[in-house]
Amino acid sequence: MRCCYCLEHAGWWRRCCRACRRLLDVYLAHRGADMATILDCLVATGVPQHTIERFLDADPNGRGSVRDRIAADMTNQLLEALGQRPRQSVADVQRIRKRGGWTALDHRPRE
């Protein structure tokens, strides 16, 4: 079977290859951390960069890519710190990304 993240050969009856399993463990252990911290931790696993990139862009469950989920977690932590109820979903992140508002992170996305 092919790995559901990086699409490399994962072995019989495995949805996920060994490298991506490690990346997933690191990501889950650091949920809510900022993107740079999580990226550092992913790189520290020794998994090749192109596999990390594929892992981040993968969307095996159709619930948004790992990258968008990290962004949603990050935003919710920030809103919580500001006393707002967390409510940024992965779908919101995808919508904002598609709108192209993130070319300037310090500006409001255009409606």
Footprint on this chain of Zn ion (rule: CB under 5 A): 3, 5-6, 17, 20
Minimum CB distance to Zn ion smaller for 5 or for 27: 5
Min CB(7)–Zn ion separation in Å: 7
- Give 28's Cβ-side CA count (13 Å radius): 6
Longest dimension (CA), the chain: 47
Min separation Cβ 11 and Zn ion, Å: 10
Q: Which is nearer to Zn ion, 3 or 70 (CB)?
A: 3
Helix (H, G, I), strand (E, B) or coil at 9: strand
